[in-house]
Amino acid sequence: MCETRQSGLKGVSVASVIVNTPIRSGFWRFILNLDAAGSRLFSQAIPGQFAEFDLSSAPLPPAESIPPHLRDRAAKQILLRRPFSFSDISIIHSAEGDCVKLEGIYCVLGPATLRMTNLKIGDQISILGPLGNGFTVPEDLATAVLVIGGMGAPPILHLAHDLKQKHPAMENIAFVGARTFESLPFQLRIGNKTGIVIEDFERLGITAHVATDDGSAGAKGFITEKLRLWLDQNTPDPDHTVIYACGPEPMLKQCAAIAEQTNIPCQVSMERMMACGIGLCQSCAVRVKQEKQEDPEYRLCCQDGPVFDSRRVLFKTVNA
C-alpha cells in the first residue's frame, strides 16, 4: 500500500492510528502508519525532527473522562496544528510496498492532546512534516550522552533507537530527570537492585540514571547533577563525545554550562510555541549568538532548530 523512496521534502500526509493507549497518568503513547506520500516523506526523517498534527476534527472524549483541571480548556476550538516529535520511526517492509511507522509519547495538557486521547484504531489524521533539522551524529562519535527532562523524552528516545541500530558499538548513557515519579513519561518498573527501571532504555541495553526534584524516583535533585558527577568520574574523550539534551530550558542551560566546562559538544532540542511550524509566522524565535559579531540574532526554532549547538543559544532562564 505504502512505498518508500528517498526524499528531503516536507508535506502533508495522512496517518492512520495503530495504537493510542495510556502509559500512565496523563501520558499516552501512539503509533501511526503513514500513507504512501507520507512514507516517502518520512523515510529519511532523523531523530529530533517533528511534525504538525491537525487535531481540529477529532472529537472530545466523553465529559466524564476529561480531568477536572482541563474541563475549562477542553472546549476551546483548535485553529492551529500542534507540533509533536517521535520516539521512533521505522519502516515496515511488505509485498505491497514499504510503509513508515511513527511512534510517539504525549502529555495531555489541553484541547488538542485531550482530543488525541479519543483517537481510535483506524482513525486518520493529517500531519505536516518532517519539520526542523534534527540531531547531528559525527562519524567518529564514540560516546553519546543522552539527557532528558520530563516531556523531552521522545526525540532522545528516537535518537537512542537510531544509534543502537546504526552504531551498535557506540557507548550510550542516559540521564532522565523529572519533577516527580508521576511526571516521568515512561513505562517504569522497580528493579531489585537498580531502583527505578525505564523499560524503553532497558530494552535498548542503555543504562539510564534517574533523578527527580523531590526524590520520589531515583536520586533527589536535578538530573544535571548526576550528569556532572558521571562526567567527572568517567571523563569521556571530548573529541569523540556529544551531549544530546531535550527538556525544560533551565535544564538545557545547565547542560550547556556543563558542556562548556568539560569541553564536550552539546546539542539541545529547544521548545517554543509554534503557530505554523514552517517559518511563516515568526512565533518561535530563539536568541542565538552570531558567529562573528557581538549582537545576538534570532533563529526560528521550527526551521533552524529545534536542535541547536548549545554554545550558540542565549537561554531565557537564569538558573536550573
Ligand X SMILES: Cc1cc2nc3c(=O)[nH]c(=O)nc-3n(C[C@H](O)[C@H](O)[C@H](O)COP(=O)(O)OP(=O)(O)OC[C@H]3O[C@@H](n4cnc5c(N)ncnc54)[C@H](O)[C@@H]3O)c2cc1C
Q: Which amino acid is at 311?
A: R
Judged by beta carbon, residue 89 or residue 274, the one nearer ligand FES is 274
Judged by beta carbon, residue 141 or residue 276, the one nearer ligand FES is 276
Contacts of 79 (CB under 8 A, 6+ apart): 56
* Residues linked to residue 103 through DSSP beta bridges, in sequence order: 31, 88
Range list of H helices, 94-184? 111-116, 153-166
Question: Where in 72-111 is the site for ligand X (CB under 6 A)?
Answer: 73, 82-85, 104-107, 109-111
Cβ 145 to ligand X shortest distance, Å: 21
Q: Does 281 bind ligand FES (CB under 6 A)?
A: yes
**Helix 249-262 / helix 223-234 crossing angle, nearest 10 deg:** 20
* Residues linked to residue 212 through DSSP beta bridges, in sequence order: 178, 220
Other Cβ atoms less than 10 A from the Cβ of 297: the count is: 14
Angstrom distance (rounded) from CA 256 to CA 246: 11
**From the list 113, 117, 183, 224, which residue makes contact with ligand X (rule: CB under 6 A)?**
113
Cβ 125 to ligand X shortest distance, Å: 14
Residue 113's binding partner among ligand FES, ligand X, none (Cβ under 5 to 8 angstroms by kind) is ligand X
**From the list 22, 67, 279, 296, which residue makes contact with ligand FES (rule: CB under 6 A)?**
279
Contacts of 275 (CB under 8 A, 6+ apart): 80, 281, 283, 284
208's enclosing H/E stretch is strand 207-212
Question: Where in 114-173 is the site for ligand X (CB under 6 A)?
Answer: 151, 154
Question: Where in 208-247 is the site for ligand X (CB under 6 A)?
Answer: none
**From the list 34, 277, 288, 306, which residue makes contact with ligand FES (rule: CB under 6 A)?**
277
Provide the binding-site residues for ligand FES, judged by CB under 6 A.
Answer: 274-277, 279-284, 300, 302
Q: Which residues of the shown chain bind ligand X in the complex (CB under 6 A)?
A: 50, 73, 82-85, 104-107, 109-113, 151, 154, 271-274, 306
